[in-house]
Amino acid sequence: MEPIEIKLNYNREWFNEVFYGNGSRTLLFMRGLREQTISLIVLASLSIISFIYMVGTSINGVLPFIFFTLFVLYSILWYPKFIKIVRWKKQINEFCKRISKLEDHRVIISPISITFIEDASIKIIKWESIKESTIKESYIELGGTINFLLVKKSMTNEEFENLTIVVKEHLQGLK
């Protein structure tokens, strides 16, 4: 196989589509946090409603206390997940900012390795060191000691199809 060189044309919005998908940019409702956030909102609403009901009917405050306690406990469990997503989003934004400043993006695929060129930075990764790969209709993700994301829109359809075939051939034993 002869080395294949693909010039990549990156656009920040293409990465946002891949990372954030479905237009869900609200941190509270991102994948992995949506259900917990809804549950937290329900518990907060139940706490408020039961408190208002207790004040209006002069009954004891056991039910509002239980709902509020559940709300606080669930908030304590929810918070670390929320912070993890905030940090992840910050890393994605820093990555997109760095990528948008670069002029030259290329990938060179050879039988032994895959080379990523970003301006003066050259990263050569042997196929054996890639531990996981994800091939979707809009991108290819390669993971190992360093993770790489190749967005379909950054190259021609023919180049993306060729890249998909080569990645599948070299990494077929991973899944």
Residues 65 and 128 in one domain: no
The tokens of 141 are what?
């993700």
Q: Within its chain, how far is the Cα of 27 from the centroid? A: 12
- In three-state secondary structure terms, 112 is coil
CATH number of 140's domain? 2.30.29.30
- Residue 175: inside a domain, yes or no? no
Q: What's the pLDDT score for residue 142?
A: 86
Phi, psi of 90 (to 5 degrees): -65, -40
Name the strand (E) or helix (H) holding 153: none
pLDDT along the chain (175 residues), means of 10: 83 78 66 85 92 83 88 93 88 84 86 86 86 87 83 89 86 61
Find all residues with CB under 8 Å of 109, minimum gap 6, and list them: 3, 4, 5, 6, 115, 163, 166
Q: Which two tokens stand for residue 41?
A: 């909102």
Reference 165, options 31, 1, 22, 9; nearest CA is 1
State whether 88 and 140 are in the same domain.
no
Q: Is the pTM of this model over 0.85?
A: no
**Do 144 and 84 share a structural domain?**
no
The conformation of residue 17, written as its DSSP 8-state character, comes to H
Q: What is the largest CA-CA distance in the chain?
A: 82
- Closest to 130 measured CA to CA, from 138, 120, 119, 142: 142
Which structural domain range is residue 161 located in?
4-16+104-170
Give the per-residue pLDDT at 33. 83
Looking at the structure, do residues 44 and 95 belong to the same domain, yes or no?
yes
Tens of pLDDT along 96-144?
888 888 888 888 888 888 888 888 888 888 888 888 888 888 888 888 7
Is 38 inside any structural domain?
Answer: yes
Q: What is the DSSP letter of 129?
A: G
**31 lies in the same domain as 63:** yes
Q: 62-101 vs 12-20: helix axis angle to the nearest 10?
A: 150
Q: Give the phi and the psi of residue 102 in degrees, each rounded to 5.
A: -80, 145
Strand partners, 148: 142
Cα–Cα distance, 164 to 157 (Å, whole number): 10
Indicate the residue among 72, 100, 128 that finishes a domain: 100
